[in-house]
Structure 1
């Protein structure tokens, strides 16, 4: 196993996941509302999408990547609409939901929603392709690409693990009124991200 590629992938995956965007907001809100398991599962959805796009870039699946990049405007519009929906739903949700137990179908919904949202940014493929080329992976073997993609998934997962467990530490300090404001602020931020995605997609059509 090429430890160098594995470590580079871990650093890359951690760095890509770390900036707080709509996925980070969702992970933080779900951790505060339902605990670290819900937050971590949400992050794993994003990590899976990162690994998927890393595979496309690493294995040179030109046909798939070209299609996704060419259709990225429509995909961004769909993602923007979904962000709008999630933002409004969270904004209107009641703090009583905080004490509700997290069921398996709820965890699947947390995973699938962040997986979908992360996949609505096909331009990520171009970022991975540029980085992989700089690291010499595109000129190497498929085994090197596999190791790097595994590293990306591990690094991304480490960030979401760190974030969900860190947020869970302060979770019990929030009052019911505090959770009301968390829902409202999170909802407004997600609606804002949705508006930006929609605006960028529609004006580019």
Structure 2
């Protein structure tokens, strides 16, 4: 049990840790409205990782079919979501502190959930685990049901750390610096979208 939990934690951390679209959204939203919004964003992606871990454990035989039939559609949907999010961030005006209307946590959760659900960078590691699980004995499987909460913990811990670190710089950023951050974040998200769509 403990070994499976640790394996899941390391897997969730390793999938989340490369600085991609979700980490970027956590940073941008934490600076915009505080660390809790960044954590809500990361939690949406972490829940998707938990779902894919469950899929890898119980649906290994479906992995190849899923990838072959829906891989291109998933990639294009992910690209479109990233480009839309990037455009919205790029066009957002820095809010005045007195009139700041904070995005809601459930909206941040839902948007990152949607991006992670369709992001090949999130899907592929768990499909690889599922494919390997289909070729070995159940007793030697790399993941078990106890790995699912580990995946959630590992991914959430990474996104919480990123959000907390980003929020520390929030009070020291001027309106001009926030505008530059939005432009950079929006451009990078659009770039991620184009990279995913053109693969």
1:107 aligns with 2:108: no
Aligned counterpart, 2:116: 118
Q: d(CA) in 2 for partners of 1:131 and 1:63?
A: 12
Q: CA deviation at 1:174?
A: 0.6
> Which residues of structure 2 form unaligned runs of 5+?
none
TM-score by length of 2: 0.87
Q: d(CA) in 2 for partners of 1:66 and 1:45?
A: 26
Deviations 1:84-114 (A, max 9, x none): 11111100100016762435xx211211111
Aligned residues: 194
Output the aligned Cα RMSD.
2.4
Q: CA deviation at 1:69?
A: 4.9
Q: CA deviation at 1:123?
A: 2.4
Structural mapping, 1:11-90, within 5 Å: 11-63=10-62, 66-90=65-89
> Which residues of structure 1 form unaligned runs of 5+?
201-205
Structural mapping, 1:153-164, within 5 Å: 153-164=152-163
TM-score by length of 1: 0.85
Return 9-18 or 90-99, whichever deviates more: 90-99
Return 26-35 or 6-15, whichever deviates more: 6-15
Aligned counterpart, 1:127: 128
CA 1:69 to 1:175, structure 2 compared with 1: closer, same or farther past 3 Å?
farther
4+ residue runs over 4 A deviation: 130-134
